[in-house]
């Protein structure tokens, strides 16, 4: 098909027309126009593209392989400690991950059930192939969303695009050469990097095709200049032997973006038929399965589950590893990227924790369509002969056959301090990014960033305020704030300890915290919104009822207390006081609470938690109040720190580098002292008064 | 705008006849009412703005001082917030005790420069002064931080680091178990933790106690004992301490180095330094001692000059007395157990001939004393106390405040440890412990000027082997 040589791209208005007109072939290459272009179709890219398309924007998602949409190249699970929180939050905001895993899991467990509600975390084993296919199906069935297999090699700003068009029209190139400083925001010129931002205009693929767009979301995962290492063997591919993306880095660097190099790794996959499970401990899923998504009916997910298996390394394993350390690319110094400390390779574990004589290893099914078993806890980049030797020292793996080798992978990512909390680049308007590209790790961390980046790309196009969750609202807020505010020296992983208000940010109340936000954004239906409002009301009603209920020291009461090993009453107490006893809870006290109305289980759960941990929750809410005050003090865009006297030099440098949006964010930057914050407050007050 | 209420000592304590504790914030009046008893009854809350009230400050059923309180309601005060000023008789001890009472009643110790900052933010300070406000804030914080660290002894720094290290280790263990429950188990851990926290509690309580007696950072009135060799300086120190501490011999110049001791004299804290006898000497070792004595004199709040009443005053005495002319001095005529050669009258007459002592001669504080028989001790104590309450002598204000900051941080840390132990006793889930332990860790960090940053995450990854 051939299109008119007269481009519809000459005017911006042209981009708004219908799809058919939006394609043209000029000088042998293709041109198309979309609202949003998402680069990469992993967990971040899928959420970004779905969010933008669901908000009604014409969206194109690029992937090096359509078969690898929502691929899980490492562990076969979704959720886990703090990651389960992220999935719940994604769901409450209208993202897809929770729904997708509910459709494709093969085992599910609520972790930390014996501990406090703040650290309960859902984790499911996924059928990897189903997960990927189901997500692909969702993408395919989403209106306004186009899937394209192509490697994006360049980002183009308005100036870049103008130059291309001029070259094409044989105009003198020099005349319109971009003023470099406005593109790169070079501080040395004294120009304000924020006010002179470049504007994204398009992406170009290796084939030369140009896709014009108003916003770009980069979710390149581990594919940028990726290389995989198994001992001495190095292949220049992405995960699973997929094609790497080798060109985009250069384009980003030429636009003044600072790149980092990170690494991560994955264990071998072993043929289940070669494993002797009788020598391992079976790990079953929960009896009653709790779904991830608030929209999933729990009764629909009570499936027959598949088991995982536990075994251990031993001294022999460790000896083999130690004897072959010189052949490990990390210890031989071949790997330059920084790896994550929280999922160390088995080599690292043996070296760093030399006093441990065994490590737990979990064999986890990769799905029901495959024989492959993931060897959790044993990622490695040792050569394949050593891998065979070491895996076979484990009880049950004596005759193990490796289907896929373990490997380490190195990739380019960015220093995320170049992003705003909206996940937009400070230097380039309309350029957003999410996922491992931002220096994080993990499917869930990626997905939630993709969701926020996609939403904010849309918000910008709509001329609406960006969606920024703060540290007191969501783990997502903590994660993004950490990424853009703190120094990031390794792939960032979510942990509950990173959330200072974790008692408030529970996985059980993600809907109460975020559904309204999702509704305002436009990704949550009115019905869902109304349901959450109703739930809130019911919780309030029940709390105020309980506040008035007193329990006397009657026979029935004492008998019930005794049954639960609780100390009998001397005198009447409030019902709340009894709920707070560790051995009791809201449900257990039902028989002695005759006035109790019928309420749904999820309402009862909230009531129980809010009463039981009232003291701590109130304390954290007070801390949040203080926190919010500083968050609300916004630092104007383009604020000139050089004009503030009395700032210490280190603070000034850091503030100029990070450009925090609020006093609160500024106070979290390492090297900025409380006195510097006071000075900033005084200076801002001075500015304000001058303007009055 | 600011919901919390702050308090601080608003006067320079050195030599001031009056001390002012200022309270500012939403709850200033309410807090003042908790410690202030108005003469004739009633509360400050009921009073009009810009009124003065006579009464007394009390804590734990004990009266601290008679005071005047000044009530200024928002916005007509320095900070534009509700403000109460408590004017007391001055002196470090009383002013500090009143401040402490106010802090216990719910105020927070003001950050350095915080009153000025609030005054500016609330529009009370002229725009043109903004820059100097910023300078003041930065400079005061700087000074406070430097003082805080400088005044900590190496041993104390080490001890706090040790407690913090232990706490961090426990938090990291809990957190890694929460993060990776399938690899790290907390079975039976609460009991272990409780024992360990018991130890931390004891240590912090001990530090808190020493901060209360001012020992934490050398708080107290810098008192220096001087005199010629062998007049009985070390014997005096021993008498004050009631123990053999300094070397006492008949040979002149046995105290080669200076000794420092802290003692509580009827509630007034003295930091007493015994110096080598000051006199011209050729002995190199002794020379160092003499130089050091001169240096100690320079920082002294109070000097006790010891003379030997059983011998005649000589040129050495007069030379030393010349060095003391600018100081607050108590003169002890020691060895009254021996036949008197120099009487109080002789001494007064001799001093009146010294040109530099002209202004002092009317008000000489002289005590006939015997270190051996301990006579004159009560009079010495009474004299020190009188001088203190008259505001003639006082200790360094900065040190006092630093100590108060440390004390507040220690007591907060201790409460957090207690809360964690209570959570253990109440059978709360493990994740609750680390909330309180982290708070204790942060508070202890404030004492040694260390922020939290990524300590926890680093500790988790370096000490505990996580899965995947």
* Bridging pattern class, strands A105-111 and A121-126: antiparallel
Highest average pLDDT, of A180-189, A540-549, B174-183, comes from A540-549
Encoded tokens for A27 = 């000088």
- Return the pLDDT at A533: 98
Residue in chain B nearest A689 by alpha carbon: B127
What gap in Å lies between CA A212 and CA A155, rounded to an integer?
A: 10
| Residues A342 and A434 occupy one common structural domain | no
DSSP for residue A524? S
- Return the pLDDT at A195: 52
Closest CA to A346 of A287, A397, A271: A397
- Return the pLDDT at A604: 97
| Residues A245 and A277 occupy one common structural domain | no
Instruction: Compare CB distances from B138 to A119, A495, A679 and report the shortest one's residue.
Output: A679
User: Which of A466, A485, A518 is where one domain is finished?
Assistant: A518
Distance from CA of A517 to the nearest CA of B (A): 28
| Residues A352 and A441 occupy one common structural domain | no
Mean pLDDT calculated for residue range B223-240: 81
Instruction: Compare CB distances from B465 to A353, A685, A689 and report the shortest one's residue.
Output: A353
- Return the pLDDT at A182: 43
| Residues A499 and A645 occupy one common structural domain | no
| Residues A125 and A232 occupy one common structural domain | yes
* Domain-wise residue ranges, chain B: 6-110, 154-213+397-463, 221-389
- How sure is the predictor about B175, in pLDDT bands with cuts at 50, 70 and 90? very high
- Return the pLDDT at A101: 98
Q: What is the pTM of this model?
A: 0.83
CB–CB of B85/B99 below 8 Å?
A: no
Query: Is the model's pLDDT at B120 over the cut of 70?
Result: yes
- CATH number of the domain where residue A460 is located: 3.50.50.60
Distance from CA of A95 to the nearest CA of B (A): 24
DSSP states along A560-612: HHHHTTPPPPSS-EEHHHHHHSTT--TTTTGGG-TTPPP--HHHHHHHHHHHH
Q: How far is CA A509 from the centre of its chain?
A: 19
A581-595, B174-188, B346-360: lowest mean pLDDT where?
Answer: B346-360
What gap in Å lies between CA A159 and CA A156, rounded to an integer?
A: 8
**Which residues in chain A touch residue B442, judged by CB atoms under 8 angstroms apart?**
none
| Residues A375 and A483 occupy one common structural domain | no
- Return the pLDDT at A434: 98
Query: Is the model's pLDDT at B11 over the cut of 80?
Result: no
- Return the pLDDT at B402: 75
- How sure is the predictor about B290, in pLDDT bands with cuts at 50, 70 and 90? low
| Residues A497 and A417 occupy one common structural domain | yes
Instruction: Compare CB distances from B180 to A81, A647, A681 and report the shortest one's residue.
Output: A81
Mean pLDDT calculated for residue range A306-324: 97
Domain count, chain A: 4
Q: Is residue A681 part of a domain?
A: yes
Distance from CA of B141 to the nearest CA of A (A): 6
What are the pLDDT digits (tens) for A246-305?
A: 999 999 999 999 999 999 999 999 999 999 999 999 999 999 999 999 999 999 999 999
Q: Is residue A128 part of a domain?
A: yes
- Return the pLDDT at B320: 81
Query: Is the model's pLDDT at A50 over the cut of 60?
Result: yes
Mean pLDDT calculated for residue range A107-119: 96
- CATH number of the domain where residue A658 is located: 1.10.150.570
What are the pLDDT digits (tens) for A209-262?
A: 999 999 999 999 999 999 999 999 999 999 999 999 999 999 999 999 999 999
Mean pLDDT calculated for residue range A410-418: 96
DSSP for residue B47? S
Q: How far is CA B116 from the centre of its chain?
A: 24
HEC string for A34-85: CCEEEECCCHHHHHHHHHHHHCCCCEEEEECCHHHCCCCCCCCEEECCCHHH
User: Which of A357, A378, A409 is where one domain is finished?
Assistant: A409
Encoded tokens for A417 = 């301090």
| Residues A286 and A258 occupy one common structural domain | no
| Residues A551 and A440 occupy one common structural domain | no
Query: Is the model's pLDDT at B243 over the cut of 60?
Result: no
Query: Is the model's pLDDT at B391 over the cut of 80?
Result: no
What gap in Å lies between CA B259 and CA B86, rounded to an integer?
A: 38
Mean pLDDT calculated for residue range A130-147: 98
- CATH number of the domain where residue A341 is located: 2.40.30.260
| Residues A231 and A165 occupy one common structural domain | yes
β-bridge partners, A433:
A218
**Which residues in chain A touch residue B182, judged by CB atoms under 8 angstroms apart?**
111, 360, 362
A613 φ/ψ sector (left φ>0, alpha ψ -120 to 50, else beta): alpha
SS3 of residue A634 by DSSP:
strand
Distance from CA of B203 to the nearest CA of A (A): 26
- Return the pLDDT at A23: 67
**Which residues in chain B touch residue A75, judged by CB atoms under 8 angstroms apart?**
468
**Which residues in chain B touch residue A479, judged by CB atoms under 8 angstroms apart?**
none
CB–CB of A236/A227 below 8 Å?
A: yes
Closest CA to B343 of B374, B375, B308, B314: B308
SS3 of residue A626 by DSSP:
helix
- Return the pLDDT at B296: 76
Q: Give per-residue burial for B168-190: e unless 16+ CB within 10 Å, then b.
A: bebbbbbbbbbbbbbbbebeebb
Closest CA to A447 of A69, A82, A95: A95
Q: Give per-residue burial for A154-172: e unless 16+ CB within 10 Å, then b.
A: bbbbbbbbebebeeeeeee
**Angle A317-A321-A323 from CA coordinates, rounded to 5°:** 115
Taking CB atoms and an 8 Å limit, are B120 and A682 in contact across chains?
A: yes
Residue in chain A nearest B114 by alpha carbon: A678
DSSP for residue A418? G
Q: Is residue A531 part of a domain?
A: no
Q: Is residue A58 part of a domain?
A: yes
| Residues A378 and A318 occupy one common structural domain | yes
DSSP states along B171-212: HHHHHHHHH-TTT---TTHHHHHHHHHHHHHHHHHHHHHHHH
Mean pLDDT calculated for residue range A138-148: 98
Residue with tokens 């708070």: B439
**Which residues in chain B touch residue A616, judged by CB atoms under 8 angstroms apart?**
432, 435
**Which residues in chain A touch residue B112, judged by CB atoms under 8 angstroms apart?**
675
- Return the pLDDT at A20: 47
CB–CB of A244/A394 below 8 Å?
A: no
CB–CB of B423/B174 below 8 Å?
A: no
CB–CB of A219/A437 below 8 Å?
A: yes
Closest CA to B79 of B117, B50, B30, B48: B117
Taking CB atoms and an 8 Å limit, are B138 and A681 in contact across chains?
A: no
- Return the pLDDT at A621: 94
CB–CB of A668/A481 below 8 Å?
A: yes
- How sure is the predictor about A125, in pLDDT bands with cuts at 50, 70 and 90? very high
What are the pLDDT digits (tens) for A543-572?
A: 999 999 999 999 999 999 999 999 999 999
| Residues A75 and A178 occupy one common structural domain | yes
Taking CB atoms and an 8 Å limit, are A675 and B465 in contact across chains?
A: no
Residue in chain B nearest A265 by alpha carbon: B468
- Return the pLDDT at A665: 94
Q: Is residue A568 part of a domain?
A: yes
Q: Which CATH class is domain B221-389?
A: alpha beta
- How sure is the predictor about B107, in pLDDT bands with cuts at 50, 70 and 90? very high
What gap in Å lies between CA A660 and CA A320, rounded to an integer?
A: 49
Q: How many CB pairs under 8 A join A and B?
A: 136
CATH architecture of B154-213+397-463: Up-down Bundle (1.20)
**Which residues in chain B touch residue A376, judged by CB atoms under 8 angstroms apart?**
467-468
Taking CB atoms and an 8 Å limit, are B467 and A82 in contact across chains?
A: no
CATH code of the domain occupying B6-110: 3.30.1360.120
Residue in chain A nearest B456 by alpha carbon: A497
B208 class by beta-carbon count within 10 Å (0-12 exposed, 13-18 middle, 19+ buried): middle
What are the pLDDT digits (tens) for A571-609?
A: 999 999 999 999 999 999 999 999 999 999 999 999 999
- How sure is the predictor about A4, in pLDDT bands with cuts at 50, 70 and 90? very low
DSSP states along B362-392: GG--EEE-BTTTTBTHHHHHHHHHHHHHTTS
B150: enclosing H helix or E strand = helix B130-150
Q: Give per-residue burial for A558-593: e unless 16+ CB within 10 Å, then b.
A: eebbeeeebeebeeebebbebbbbeebbbebbeebe
What are the pLDDT digits (tens) for A460-471?
A: 999 999 999 999
- Return the pLDDT at B158: 86
A162-176, A636-650, B307-321, B429-443: lowest mean pLDDT where?
Answer: A162-176
Q: Is residue A284 part of a domain?
A: yes
User: Which of A593, A619, A645 is where one domain is finished?
Assistant: A619
DSSP for residue A237? B
Residue in chain A nearest B115 by alpha carbon: A678
Encoded tokens for A535 = 């739930």
Residue with tokens 């006893």: A581
- How sure is the predictor about B288, in pLDDT bands with cuts at 50, 70 and 90? low
- Return the pLDDT at B459: 84
Taking CB atoms and an 8 Å limit, are B468 and A342 in contact across chains?
A: yes
Distance from CA of A47 to the nearest CA of B (A): 25
Torsion sign, CA atoms A461, A462, A468, A469? negative
Taking CB atoms and an 8 Å limit, are B468 and A341 in contact across chains?
A: no
- Return the pLDDT at B90: 67
Q: What is the mean pLDDT of chain A?
A: 91
Query: Is the model's pLDDT at A181 over the cut of 80?
Result: no
Distance from CA of B268 to the nearest CA of A (A): 34
Taking CB atoms and an 8 Å limit, are A344 and B465 in contact across chains?
A: yes
CB neighbours (10 Å) of residue A556? 11
What gap in Å lies between CA A158 and CA A156, rounded to an integer?
A: 7
- Return the pLDDT at A11: 39
Query: Is the model's pLDDT at B273 over the cut of 90?
Result: no
- How sure is the predictor about A8, in pLDDT bands with cuts at 50, 70 and 90? very low
Taking CB atoms and an 8 Å limit, are B435 and A362 in contact across chains?
A: no
- How sure is the predictor about B418, in pLDDT bands with cuts at 50, 70 and 90? very high
**Which residues in chain B touch residue A682, judged by CB atoms under 8 angstroms apart?**
117, 120-121, 130, 133-134, 137
Per the structure, the complete domain to which residue A327 belongs is given by 265-409
Mean pLDDT calculated for residue range B179-196: 92
Query: Is the model's pLDDT at A76 over the cut of 60?
Result: yes
A528: enclosing H helix or E strand = helix A526-548
Residue with tokens 């308007």: A429
Taking CB atoms and an 8 Å limit, are A111 and B181 in contact across chains?
A: yes
Taking CB atoms and an 8 Å limit, are B183 and A360 in contact across chains?
A: yes
């Amino acid at each position: 098909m051939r299109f008119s040589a007269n481009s519809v791209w000459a005017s911006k208005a042209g981009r708004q027309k219908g799809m058919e007109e939006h394609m043209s072939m000029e000088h042998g290459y293709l041109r198309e126009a979309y609202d949003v272009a998402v680069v990469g179709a992993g967990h971040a890219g899928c959420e970004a593209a779905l969010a933008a398309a669901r908000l009604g924007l014409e969206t194109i998602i690029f992937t090096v392989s359509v078969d690898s949409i929502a691929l899980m190249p490492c562990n076969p699970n979704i959720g886990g400690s703090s990651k389960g929180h992220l999935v719940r939050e994604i769901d409450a905001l209208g993202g897809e991950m929770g729904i997708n895993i509910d459709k494709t899991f093969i085992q599910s467990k609520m972790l930390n059930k014996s501990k406090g509600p703040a650290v309960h975390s859902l984790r499911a084993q996924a059928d990897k192939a189903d997960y990927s296919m189901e997500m692909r199906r969702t993408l395919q069935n989403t209106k306004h969303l186009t899937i394209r297999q192509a490697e994006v090699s360049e980002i183009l700003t308005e100036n870049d695009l103008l130059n291309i068009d001029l070259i094409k029209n044989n105009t003198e190139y020099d005349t319109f050469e971009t003023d470099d400083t406005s593109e790169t925001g070079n501080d040395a010129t004294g120009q304000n990097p924020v006010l002179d931002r470049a504007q994204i205009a398009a992406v170009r693929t290796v084939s030369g095709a140009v896709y014009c767009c108003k916003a770009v979301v980069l979710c390149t995962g581990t594919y940028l200049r990726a290389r995989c290492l198994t001992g001495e063997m190095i292949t220049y591919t992405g995960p699973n032997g997929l094609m790497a993306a080798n060109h985009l880095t250069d384009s980003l660097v030429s636009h003044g973006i600072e790149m980092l190099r990170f690494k991560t790794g994955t264990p071998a996959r072993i043929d289940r038929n070669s494993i002797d499970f009788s020598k391992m401990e079976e790990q079953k899923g929960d009896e009653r399965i709790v779904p991830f998504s608030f929209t999933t009916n729990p009764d629909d997910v009570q499936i027959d589950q598949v088991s995982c298996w536990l075994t251990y390394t031993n001294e022999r394993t460790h000896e083999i590893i130690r004897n072959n350390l010189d052949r490990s690319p990390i210890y031989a110094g071949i790997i330059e990227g920084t790896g994550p400390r929280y999922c160390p390779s088995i080599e690292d574990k043996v070296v760093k924790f030399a006093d441990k004589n065994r490590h737990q290893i979990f064999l986890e099914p990769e799905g029901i369509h495959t024989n492959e078993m993931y060897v959790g806890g044993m990622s490695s980049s040792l050569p394949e002969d050593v891998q065979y030797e070491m895996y076979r020292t484990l009880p049950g793996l004596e005759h193990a056959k490796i289907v896929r080798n373990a490997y380490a992978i190195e990739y380019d990512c960015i220093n995320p301090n170049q992003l705003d909390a909206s996940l937009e680049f400070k230097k380039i308007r309309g350029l957003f990014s999410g996922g491992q590209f931002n220096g994080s790790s993990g499917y869930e961390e990626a997905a939630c960033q993709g969701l926020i980046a996609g939403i904010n790309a849309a918000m910008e196009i709509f001329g609406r305020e960006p969606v920024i969750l703060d540290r007191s609202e969501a783990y997502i807020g903590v994660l993004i704030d950490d990424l853009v505010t703190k120094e990031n020296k390794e792939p960032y992983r979510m942990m509950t300890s990173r959330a200072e208000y974790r008692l408030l940010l529970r996985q059980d109340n993600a809907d109460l915290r975020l559904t309204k936000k999702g509704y305002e954004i436009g990704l949550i239906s009115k019905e869902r919104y109304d349901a959450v409002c109703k739930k809130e009301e019911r919780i309030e009603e029940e709390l105020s009822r309980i506040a008035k209920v007193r329990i006397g020291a009657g026979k029935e009461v004492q008998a019930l207390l005794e049954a639960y090993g609780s100390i009998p009453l001397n005198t009447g107490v409030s019902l709340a006081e009894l709920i707070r006893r560790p051995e009791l809870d809201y449900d257990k006290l039902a028989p002695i609470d005759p006035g109790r109305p019928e309420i749904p289980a999820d309402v009862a759960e909230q009531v129980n938690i809010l009463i039981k941990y009232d003291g701590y929750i109130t304390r954290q809410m007070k801390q949040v109040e203080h926190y919010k005050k500083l968050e609300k003090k916004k630092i104007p865009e383009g604020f000139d720190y050089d004009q503030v006297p009395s700032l210490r030099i280190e603070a000034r440098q850091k503030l100029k580098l990070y450009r925090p949006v609020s006093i609160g964010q500024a106070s979290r930057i390492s090297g900025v002292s409380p006195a510097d914050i006071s000075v900033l407050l005084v200076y801002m007050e001075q500015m304000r008064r001058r303007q009055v | 705008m600011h919901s919390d209420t702050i308090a601080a000592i608003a006067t320079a304590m050195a030599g001031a006849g009056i001390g002012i504790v200022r309270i500012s914030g939403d709850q200033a009046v309410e807090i003042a009412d908790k410690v202030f008893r108005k003469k004739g009854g009633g509360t400050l809350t009921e009073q009009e703005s810009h009124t003065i009230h006579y009464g007394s400050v009390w804590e734990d059923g004990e009266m601290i001082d008679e005071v005047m309180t000044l009530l200024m309601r928002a916005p007509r005060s320095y900070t534009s917030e509700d403000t109460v000023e408590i004017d007391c008789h001055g002196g470090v001890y009383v002013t500090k005790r009143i401040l402490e009472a106010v802090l216990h009643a719910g105020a927070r110790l003001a950050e350095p420069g915080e009153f000025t900052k609030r005054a500016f933010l609330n529009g009370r300070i002229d725009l043109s002064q903004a820059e100097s406000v910023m300078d003041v804030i930065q400079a005061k914080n700087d000074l406070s931080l430097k003082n805080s660290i400088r005044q900590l002894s190496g041993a104390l720094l080490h001890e706090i680091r040790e407690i913090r290290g232990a706490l961090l280790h426990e938090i990291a263990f809990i957190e890694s178990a929460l993060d990776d429950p399938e690899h790290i188990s907390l079975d039976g851990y609460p009991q272990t933790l409780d024992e360990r926290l018991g130890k931390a509690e004891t240590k912090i309580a001990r530090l808190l106690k020493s901060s209360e007696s001012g020992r934490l950072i050398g708080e107290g009135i810098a008192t220096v004992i001087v005199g010629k060799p062998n007049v009985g300086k070390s014997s005096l120190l021993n008498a004050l301490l009631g123990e053999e501490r300094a070397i006492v011999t008949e040979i002149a110049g046995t105290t080669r180095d200076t000794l420092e001791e802290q003692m509580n004299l009827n509630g007034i804290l003295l930091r007493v330094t015994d110096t080598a006898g000051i006199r011209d000497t050729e002995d190199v070792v002794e020379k160092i001692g003499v130089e050091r004595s001169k240096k100690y004199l320079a920082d002294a709040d109070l000097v006790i000059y010891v003379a030997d009443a059983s011998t005649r005053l000589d040129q050495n005495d007069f030379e030393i007395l010349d060095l003391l002319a600018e100081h607050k001095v108590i003169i002890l005529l020691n060895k009254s157990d021996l036949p008197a050669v120099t009487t109080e009258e002789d001494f007064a007459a001799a001093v009146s001939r010294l040109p530099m002592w002209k202004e002092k001669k009317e008000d000489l504080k002289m005590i006939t004393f015997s270190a051996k028989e301990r006579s004159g001790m009560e009079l010495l104590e009474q004299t020190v106390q009188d001088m203190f309450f008259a505001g003639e002598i006082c200790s360094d204000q900065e040190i006092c405040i630093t100590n108060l900051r440390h004390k507040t941080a220690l007591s907060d840390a201790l409460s957090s440890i207690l809360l964690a132990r209570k959570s253990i006793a109440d059978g709360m889930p493990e994740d609750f412990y680390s909330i309180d332990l982290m708070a204790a860790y942060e508070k202890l960090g404030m004492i040694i000027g260390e922020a939290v940053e990524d300590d926890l995450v680093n500790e988790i990854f370096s000490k505990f082997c996580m899965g995947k």
